[in-house]
Amino acid sequence: MSHRPLATSFFDRMHAHPLFRKHGRKAVIVVPYVWLLIFFLFPFFIILRMSLTDMEGVVIQPILQFKEGILSLAINVNHYLFILKDDLYGKTYLSSMRYAAITTFWCLFIGYPFSYFMARARPTAQPGLLMMVMLPFWTSFLLRVYAWKGLLTEGGWVCRLLVALHVDDLLVRLDLIPSQGLFMNTPFSLTIGMVYTYLPFMILPLYATLSKMDLRLLEAAADLGATPWVGFWKITVPLSKAGIIAGSMLVFIPCIGEYVIPELLGGPRTLMIGRVLWDEFFSNNDWPMAASVAVVVILLIIVPLAFFNKYQAEATEVRT
Partner 1 sequence: MSLAPAPPAYLEIRDVVKDFGSGSLAVNHVSLDIHKGEIFALLGSSGCGKTTLLRMLAGFEVPTQGTILLDGQNLAGLPPYLRPINMMFQSYALFPHLTVWENVAFGLKREGMPRANIAERVEAMLKLVQLQKYGKRKPHQLSGGQQQRVALARSLAKRPQLMLLDEPLGALDKKLREETQVELANIIREVGVTCVMVTHDQEEAMTMATRIAVMSEGKILQVGTPGEIYETPTTRFVADFIGSVNLMDGKVVVDEPDFVEIDCVYCRHRVGHGITGNVGMDVAVAVRPEKIRLSRTRPDGEVNHVKGTVRDRSYFGSFTVYILELEGGRRLKVSESNVDRHRADAPAAGEVAWATWPDTAQVVLTQ
Which residues make up the interface to partner 1 (CB under 8 A)?
A: 214, 216-217, 219-227, 230, 234-235, 238-239, 241, 318-320
The DSSP 8-state label assigned to residue 286 in this structure reads -
37 versus 220: smaller Cβ distance to partner 1: 220
Residues 274 and 282: their CA atoms lie apart, in Å, by: 12
CB atoms near residue 114 (< 10 Å): 18
Alpha-carbon torsion 145, 149, 152, 157, what sign?
negative
Query: Least distance from C-beta 162 to partner 1, angstroms?
Result: 41
Query: Least distance from C-beta 316 to partner 1, angstroms?
Result: 12
Query: Least distance from C-beta 230 to partner 1, angstroms?
Result: 7
Give the distance, in angstroms, between the CA of residue 21 and the centroid of all CA atoms in the same chain.
Answer: 37
26 versus 319: smaller Cβ distance to partner 1: 319
What's the distance, Cα to Cα, between the start and end of the chain in Å? 51
Q: In sequence order, which residues have a C-beta less than 8 Å from that of residue 19 and are 6 or more positions away?
A: none
Closest by CA position to 249, among listed 299, 213, 297, 198: 198
120 versus 241: smaller Cβ distance to partner 1: 241
34 versus 215: smaller Cβ distance to partner 1: 215
56 versus 223: smaller Cβ distance to partner 1: 223
On whether the CB atoms of residues 65 and 72 are closer than 8 A, the answer is yes
Alpha-carbon torsion 105, 107, 108, 110, what sign?
positive
Query: Least distance from C-beta 239 to partner 1, angstroms?
Result: 6
Torsion of CA 207, 209, 210, 212, to 10 degrees: 110
191 versus 240: smaller Cβ distance to partner 1: 240
Query: Least distance from C-beta 235 to partner 1, angstroms?
Result: 6
Query: Least distance from C-beta 112 to partner 1, angstroms?
Result: 17
103 versus 240: smaller Cβ distance to partner 1: 240
Query: Least distance from C-beta 223 to partner 1, angstroms?
Result: 5
| Cα dist from 19 to 27, 199, 251, whole Å | 11, 45, 42
Closest by CA position to 114, among listed 136, 139, 132, 137: 132
What are phi and psi for residue 217, nearest 5 degrees? -65, -35
Query: Least distance from C-beta 241 to partner 1, angstroms?
Result: 8
189 versus 236: smaller Cβ distance to partner 1: 236
